[in-house]
Structures are given as structure tokens and as C-alpha cells.
Amino acid sequence: MDFSTDFDTTSRHFLDWFNTQPGTTFHPSLEIVDLRGRGAGRGMTAKVDILQDTDLFTIPRSCIISKDTSELARKLPELFDVQIDANEKDSGNNIDGQDSDELVSDLPKSWLNLILILLYESFHQRTSKWSPYFDVLPQEPSSFDTLMFWTDEELSHLQASAMRSKIGKDSANRMFQERIIPVVNNHADIFYPPNTAQLTDVQLLEKCHIIGSLIMSYAFDLQPDDDDEDDQENEDGWMEDRYKPSTMGMVPMADMLNADAEFNAHLSHGEENLTMTSIREIKAGEEVLNYYGPLPNGELLRRYGYTSPKHTRYDVVEISWDQVKTVISETLHIPNDPTATTAADTLNKTISQLTETEAYETLDLENGFLLDREAGDPDEYGLCTTEARFTAFPEELVSIISELVTRLESGEMRKKRLTREEDKKRFVKNRTLTVLEAIVRKRMAEYETSVDVDDGLLLREASDGGVGRRLRMALNVRVGEKRLLREALDWTEAMLEKYKEAQQQGSAAQVNGQPPRKKQRKDNR
Ligand SMILES: C[S@@+](CC[C@H](N)C(=O)[O-])C[C@H]1O[C@@H](n2cnc3c(N)ncnc32)[C@H](O)[C@@H]1O
């Protein structure tokens, strides 16, 4: 069988099915295309130029798979009536920035509901009204490139990226075993069609991972109605289409769009329908693109299984508190404290005293710190018009290091006879920058290869595709992080240089102003 014809036939069946659903619309200038050649699966392109503000397609809410439409919710209403726990309320689907173990145990009810619904619907796929839709959805582990499905060897190519600790496979297993598998087994008569073999727990667990990953990369949050929800928009008026507190659902056709940091389509949520609209002109042959939010490439890879050069502007590097503490202990002069046995004790004591103060008591050091760029938001046409630049370290990080310098190096300041407030401030700033520089260098050293080596590998990939898709994406993530560290280092060195100049000018000003006598005599000789 011709592989691509099969792919196109499945796409066509899906489109035909979509067009026969009551209330749907699909603009005749659009087509579903095969983008596997560039690792992007199915996507949608414009056949001719499409004007801004054109309705591209409309999906009635009745066509969405959710608790409002699935038979499962009617057959087992008790599963869906459960009140949302206080700690789940408004956690929405926002799983940003959480570590793996918190990640899944806190999974909101809307995710759990949709996992159960999709298990039910996929078991009844043959008779389901969504059958042609299921045919275009990935249903095998091999269809996913999200980090959950990478081998340890593949993950090792991410080197020192914090993404490796954010996959959460163990906690996902636990959550599926505790909150999904027993429900399916206890209601096997409903979940499985008559005369079908039940899955073993091992098979169910694998299926849960597939469905969980499908939801992560395909599902939408269903806002009640855009008109009622104006206040949920961010400053630029962009509501990201995922990860908001609400019901989750699978939205046929909307999820056939790929996405990028620059995009040209937007999904609005009406009372009866969801409508995808062009937010600027889409030229013939151009891909129609949605927006997943300002995600760094590592996060894009974890959730969606791809990386994009346009998302590099949102790249981040995590710095753990342990790393900060190690550098502080290696860089600052820790004074002798008769009540502490070692320098490490003195440092710990100083940190405890500091974090007990009002200014720092709410700071959770164990969360670490995030380096990123000032990247701005896409404009109303979905374009990123400002250059993304590293402009500062996180305020809390700078503040805590400055405080520790002030407390730990007061003896150094005395030794240097720094009595004027401005001299002390300059000293603290300088030492803070020195610590920050050392932190960045240490973090850089954790990656096994340099940017140059990685660039060489990426060049090889570009010329002969030699390194493979997953290694290329891992390279994109780790190179992006290293470039950000490089920018942070350049910025820090430039600031240190500025302070050095200011210090020199400061001492020159002292000489010109009220110079110490001894020095003046010496200079005059
Ligand atoms: C909502 S689906 C989009 C349709 C999908 N391409 C398909 O074939 O079904 C999201 C998935 O599409 C892929 N994708 C989305 N945007 C992409 C892009 N810019 N480049 C490559 N793959 C992309 C990723 O695999 C992602 O998990």
C-alpha cells in the first residue's frame, strides 16, 4: 500500500466526516496537508491568499469530545459530578514550572475526566461518532516524540537541561494506577464494548500514557464563552488556547493546526461554536498556525514533542538553590564564627537568619531561579516584533546574593576601609556580580559539550540528517540553553567592567576631591 496515499485518504475521510457534522464550516481555501517530510505530521495550508479576519472553520460544541458530549458521562455521571478539591480549584491545567513529582499528583480533575472519556471513546472507536477523527489522532507510542517516550539514552542528549527532571513518568504511573485503572476495571462492563477482551493493567497503563500524551499535545481548554471572559485575556489580548481552568476537550479540526511562536490563526470560544479565524493575511501555500504560548523549546519538546527556532526567544535555564549556595561558599569570604564549627555552618546560619526576615520568608529557595530573556509578547497579528535580550538576573536571586555579601563580607569591607555608603554599595554590587558570573560559569560547565561542538552536530544534521530527529531536538534545547547562559555571562562581564570603571572614576574623584594627605605627598614627588 502507498503509505502517503493512505495518509491522505485518512485525512480526506476525516475532512468529509467533519463537513457532515451539523453546524461545522470549513473554508474552501484551506487544505489538510502531509508535513511528515519536515516532521510536523498533518497540518493545514492556504490554497489561495486568505484575508485577515476570515473564519477558517467552525466547530460546534456538540462536535467536541468532552464530558458534555461523551456517553461515558451519561453512563457514569458520578465520576464527573465529584466536586473539585480546594487545592485543585483554579490550578486549571497549568502545569508550568512544576517538578515532576508534583506534576501529576496535582493533575486537575479536567485532565482525569478527559483521560477516562478518551479511554472509553477509544475502546468504542469502531462505533463512535468520532471514529474518522480517531483515525487521524496518534494512538501508538511510536507516534509521539514527547519526552515521556524517550529512552534514557535519548534523554541523556539533553545534557544538563532541567527538562530531564520534569518528565514525571513515575508520578504519572502512580496517578494512573491509583486514579484511572481501578475506575476502568471496576466499570469494565461500561468501558469495554460487549464481547471484547479487557486490557491487562500493564496494557492499560501504556494506554493511559498514550492518552495522557494525546491530551497534553492536542486537547484544548474549553472557555465558557469569550464574551463573558474578557477579563481572562492577558495584557496583549491573547488568550492561549490551552492551560486555563475549565473543561478540557478534544476539538476536531482545531487540533489539525500546528503551532509556532509566530502564528496567524486564533480560536475563539462562543456559546455554541468554537471558531478559528485568521488574524492576518495568510498567503497561498503558507501554513495556518496556532499558538501554544511563550514556551521555551525544552517545554515545547516535553509537552508537544518538537522544537522551533522561533521559540528560542523564550528559552530558559534553571539554577537550583544548591548551585547558588555552592558558588557562594566557593566565592565569598566566609568569616570565622566562634558559634559555628565550619564555614558551611556559618553560611547555613546566615542563610537561615536571612530567610527568617520578613522580606525573604515567602521565598521558596527550593524552587530555584529561572534565567530568561526579555522577550515581549506577540503583537495583535501574532508576530514577535521586538528582539529578545537578556537584560537582568531574577530579582530575588540578585537580592539574596547581595544580602549574603553584605552580611558575610562586612569584615572584608572593613579591611578595605570602605566607610562611605556608596563605596560599600559598589563593593556589594561588584561582589554580587562576581557570584552571578561564577554561577553562570558553573551552570555552563554542567553541559558536556560546547556550543561549537553542538553547532557542528547540527550542521551535520542539516547536511545529511545524520544525527536523527530526537538528537536534533535535544541539541536545539541544549544549544538554546547554552546560548542564553553565554548571553547572561556577556551581560555580567559587561556590568562588571562598568563597575570597575566606576570604581576607578570613584577613586580618581577621591584624589581630585579630598585626597588622603600621605598619598598626595607621594604623588607630588
Ligand atoms: C495539535 S497537533 C497538530 C497536528 C499534528 N501535526 C498532527 O499530525 O496531528 C500538535 C502536534 O503537532 C506537532 N506540531 C505542532 N506544531 C508543530 C511545528 N511547528 N513543528 C513540528 N511539529 C509540530 C507536534 O507533534 C504536536 O504535538
Span 267-307, pLDDT tens digits? 999 999 999 999 999 999 999 999 999 999 999 999 999 99
Residue 34 CA to ligand 1 centre (angstroms): 11
Return phi, psi of residue 62, to 5°. -65, -15
> Do 508 and 394 belong to one domain?
yes
- pLDDT number for residue 336: 87
Q: Helices 297-304 and 469-513 meet at what angle, rounded to 10? A: 160
With cut-offs at 50, 70 and 90, classify the pLDDT of residue 521: very low
C-alpha separations of 100 from 84, 162, 163 in Å = 22, 11, 9
Domain with 171 in it: what CATH number? 3.90.1410.10
Residues 83 and 80: their CA atoms lie apart, in Å, by: 8
Q: Range of 430's domain?
A: 310-524
State the CB neighbour count (10 A cutoff) for residue 514.
9
> Do 361 and 427 belong to one domain?
yes
> Do 290 and 341 belong to one domain?
no
Residue 87: pLDDT above 90? Answer: no
State the CB neighbour count (10 A cutoff) for residue 298.
29
Q: What is the pLDDT of residues 96-134, one digit of tens each?
A: 333 444 444 456 788 899 999 999 999 999 999 999 999
**Averaged over 400-413, what is the pLDDT?**
96
Residue 231: pLDDT above 70? Answer: no
Lowest mean pLDDT among 121-135, 424-438, 491-505: 491-505
Residues 6 and 11: their CA atoms lie apart, in Å, by: 9
> Do 427 and 463 belong to one domain?
yes
Tell me if 260 CB under 6 Å of ligand 1.
yes
Going by C-alpha positions, the residue among 278, 315, 313 that lies closest to residue 299 is 315
Residue 523: pLDDT above 50? Answer: no
Residue 503: pLDDT above 80? Answer: no
Percentage of residues of the chain with pLDDT beyond 90: 78
Q: Which residues contact 172 (CB under 8 A, 6 or more apart)?
A: 103, 104, 148, 208, 209, 212
Tell me if 403 CB under 6 Å of ligand 1.
no
> Do 13 and 128 belong to one domain?
yes
Residue 257 CA to ligand 1 centre (angstroms): 7
> Do 331 and 391 belong to one domain?
yes
User: How many structural domains comprise the chain?
Assistant: 2
> Do 102 and 235 belong to one domain?
yes
- pLDDT number for residue 340: 78
Residue 197: pLDDT above 80? Answer: yes
Residue 466 CA to ligand 1 centre (angstroms): 23
> Do 297 and 346 belong to one domain?
no
Mutate to test the pocket of ligand 1, among 258, 292, 302, 473 (most ligand atoms within 8 A of CB): 258
Going by C-alpha positions, the residue among 271, 289, 272 that lies closest to residue 280 is 289
* pTM of the predicted model as reported, rounded to 2 decimal places: 0.89
> Do 272 and 405 belong to one domain?
no
Tell me if 42 CB under 6 Å of ligand 1.
yes
**Averaged over 182-194, what is the pLDDT?**
97
Question: Which atom of ligand 1 is nearest to 146's Cα?
Answer: 27
Q: What is the pLDDT of residues 357-367, one digit of tens each?
A: 999 999 999 99
C-alpha separations of 141 from 205, 210, 342 in Å = 12, 6, 52
Residue 307 CA to ligand 1 centre (angstroms): 10
Residue 462: pLDDT above 90? Answer: no
Task: Point out the domain boundary residue: 305, 332, 357.
Answer: 305
Quickly list DSSP for 164-199.
GGS--HHHHHHHHHHHTHHHHHHTHHHHSPTT-PPP
> Do 95 and 207 belong to one domain?
yes
Task: Point out the domain boundary residue: 245, 271, 305.
Answer: 305
Q: How many Å is the Cα radius of gyration of the chain?
A: 28
Supply angle C-alpha 473, 475, 476, rounded to 5: 65
Percent helix / strand / coil, the chain, rounded to 5: 55, 10, 35
C-alpha separations of 518 from 415, 416, 474 in Å = 19, 17, 62
Percentage of residues of the chain with pLDDT beyond 70: 86
Residue 137 CA to ligand 1 centre (angstroms): 11
Domain with 356 in it: what CATH number? 3.90.1420.10
- pLDDT number for residue 99: 41
Residue 328: pLDDT above 90? Answer: yes
> Do 289 and 348 belong to one domain?
no
Residue 325: pLDDT above 80? Answer: yes
With cut-offs at 50, 70 and 90, classify the pLDDT of residue 373: very high
Residues 525 and 523: their CA atoms lie apart, in Å, by: 6
Q: What is the pLDDT of residues 17-39, one digit of tens each?
A: 999 999 999 999 999 999 999 99
Residue with cell 488574524: 279
Mutate to test the pocket of ligand 1, among 306, 307, 308, 310 (most ligand atoms within 8 A of CB): 306
Residue 266: pLDDT above 90? Answer: yes
Tell me if 297 CB under 6 Å of ligand 1.
no
Residue 435 CA to ligand 1 centre (angstroms): 41
Task: Point out the domain boundary residue: 255, 288, 305.
Answer: 305
> Do 91 and 128 belong to one domain?
yes
Tell me if 11 CB under 6 Å of ligand 1.
no
